Amino acid sequence: MANSTFFESTRDSKSPNRNISPITTQINVNGGLDIGGCTLSELASRYGTPLYVLDEETIRASCIAYRESLKKYYPGPSLALYASKANSSLIMSSLIASEGMGLDAVSEGELLTAINGGVPVEKIVFHGNNKSDQELYFACQNGVTIVIDNQYDIDRLEKIIPTINRSVNLMLRFTPGIECHTHEYIRTGHLDSKFGFDPDQLETVLKKLVDSKWANLSGLHAHIGSQIFELQPHEDLVAVMVDALILAKQIGHSIKDLNVGGGLGVRYIESDDPPSISDWVKAISNKLVQECKKRDIKLPRLMCEPGRSLIASAGVTLYTIGSQKNIPGIRSYISVDGGMSDNPRPITYQSSYHACLVDRVIENADQTVTIAGKHCESGDVLLKDFCLPETRSEEILGVFGTGAYNFSMSSNYNRIPRPAAVIVNKGHSEIVQRRETPEDLLRLDVLPDRFIGLN
């Protein structure tokens, strides 16, 4: 299939998670690709490659879809929180804050980024299965909601909270025992999970917290995984959480918030078919209303934590094609100037992506190639047995769906600097992450005096 047909067949501006490319993607008169009104090959020429490109309009459309769907389908209070582990940055924090969303963080670094990016502290929740004392103290000082994940959290908070002159809101995370058909490494909701209290611990910990004057337990949290294409597991989750809500109320807690986590999948390749944001929110909202009505209890504030589904499709990574190697009868390799250090998901999760030559989008893809990274690993492959037009060195390749878990999971493996990132909107591009230099990689290295001058 020609890429021109492909892009036209996957466009859904109301639910960007169902797109492979950003919603502003256009094929220009020269047969090249524009995103956010900017020609991708011109961005590569101006900023260099590898280059992360984020489309502002797609990100805002995703925020609006979550916010408006909650408003439409849930009659009670609600708040969508951006799961910042997907892409933690000042620009993302500022964008989601401007759209009225909250944010969840899992480290002091993510908390600091969110606060400096303008997210109100009352809209931030702090997760983690092994929070440090410093992280807990920082969260307490700044007044964010802390998600209690285990007894270790409780033991240290008992000592930390009395030392600060402010109240602290807490949320309790538990494992709901729901298993989804997704990659083993990103399952978090089943019983064999490092996250949260087990169901049989819930009553005991709730009773302990109700007698703890320092504990202002205002919410419950659970999460069942990531890249999920099914709605039923999330509906089942809601029913389990309402049972836990009733238990907490019976014990004496004033639970106001029910946080169902995230997990909605996105479309990386043509065969992926995730639900729309609207359908996901509708299913959860209707189930929560039904369960609360059946039990004759007041609707809690419904919270959710979209990450991947909010930003994945907004991102494109640009590479320059370099060396090529043909092994007759076996495989043709095309190497690019990035790879597993800027996108570790293929080698880690065997993740699949879509790509194209950004200046020759309308040409038929009649060559089968394997796109390899430049790192010293045989497994550093971005796309295996992928169809492209016949390629030439120095052309620009665009890989789609890289807004989530690419920049945030990037590394300096082989001492390769991290790429720059730009945001595009209405024909303008702006740097939001400077490109690292080789000299930056030495900034934190220390050579003891006794080694100086030995060679």
Regarding whether 213 and 317 lie in a shared domain, the answer is no
Regarding whether 256 and 184 lie in a shared domain, the answer is yes
- Contact call for residues 117 and 91 (beta carbons, < 8 A): yes
Angstrom CA distances, 27 to 4, 5, 7, 30, 136, stand at 7, 11, 9, 8, 49
Asked if residue 287 belongs to a domain, the reply is yes
The DSSP string of 358-421 is: TT-TTS---EEEEEE-SSS-TT-EEEEEEEESPP-TT-EEEEES-SSSSSTT---GGGPPPPEE
- Helix H or strand E segment including 73: helix 56-73
Q: Which residue has the higher pLDDT, 189 or 255?
A: 255
Asked if residue 256 belongs to a domain, the reply is yes
**Percent of the chain scoring above 90 in pLDDT:** 88
pLDDT digits (tens, 9 = 90+) for 117-168: 999 999 999 999 999 999 999 999 999 999 999 999 999 999 998 888 777 8
Q: Which pLDDT value is given to residue 4?
A: 55
With left for phi above 0 and alpha for psi between -120 and 50, is residue 245 left, alpha or beta? alpha
Q: Which pLDDT value is given to residue 7?
A: 61
219 DSSP β-pair partners: 171, 257
**Percent of the chain scoring above 70 in pLDDT:** 95
Regarding whether 287 and 146 lie in a shared domain, the answer is yes
Q: Which pLDDT value is given to residue 193?
A: 84
Q: Which pLDDT value is given to residue 311?
A: 98
Mean pLDDT of 273-290: 98
Regarding whether 217 and 365 lie in a shared domain, the answer is no
Q: Which amino acid is at 261?
A: G
Regarding whether 291 and 336 lie in a shared domain, the answer is no
- Give me the catalytic one of 140, 304, 376, 387: 376
Q: How far apart are alpha carbons 92 and 103 in whole angstroms?
A: 10
Asked if residue 101 belongs to a domain, the reply is no
- Is pTM beyond 0.85? Reply is yes
Q: Which pLDDT value is given to residue 215?
A: 87
Regarding whether 140 and 283 lie in a shared domain, the answer is yes
Domain count, the chain: 2
Please return the burial class of 167, using the count of CB atoms within 10 Å of its CB with bins 0-12, 13-18 and 19+: exposed
Which residue, of 305, 334, 361, is where some domain finishes? 305
Q: Which pLDDT value is given to residue 1?
A: 45
Asked if residue 142 belongs to a domain, the reply is yes
Is 304 among the residues known to form the active site? Answer: no
Regarding whether 286 and 159 lie in a shared domain, the answer is yes
Regarding whether 410 and 331 lie in a shared domain, the answer is yes
Q: How far is CA 40 from the centre of its chain?
A: 23
Spatial CB neighbours of 253, under 8 Å, sequence gap ≥ 6: 206, 209, 210, 217
Q: Which pLDDT value is given to residue 10?
A: 61
CATH number for the domain spanning 147: value is 3.20.20.10
Regarding whether 338 and 295 lie in a shared domain, the answer is no
Q: Which residue has the higher pLDDT, 455 or 315?
A: 315
Lowest mean pLDDT among 84-93, 162-171, 268-277: 162-171
Which residue, of 271, 305, 339, is where some domain finishes? 305
- Count Cβ neighbours within 10 Å for each residue of 282-309 and write b for 16 or more, e otherwise: bbbbebbbebbeeeeeebbbbbbbbbbb
Confidence of residue 454 (pLDDT cuts 50, 70, 90): confident
Regarding whether 321 and 300 lie in a shared domain, the answer is no
Regarding whether 325 and 279 lie in a shared domain, the answer is no
Structural domain containing residue 374: 3-55+312-441
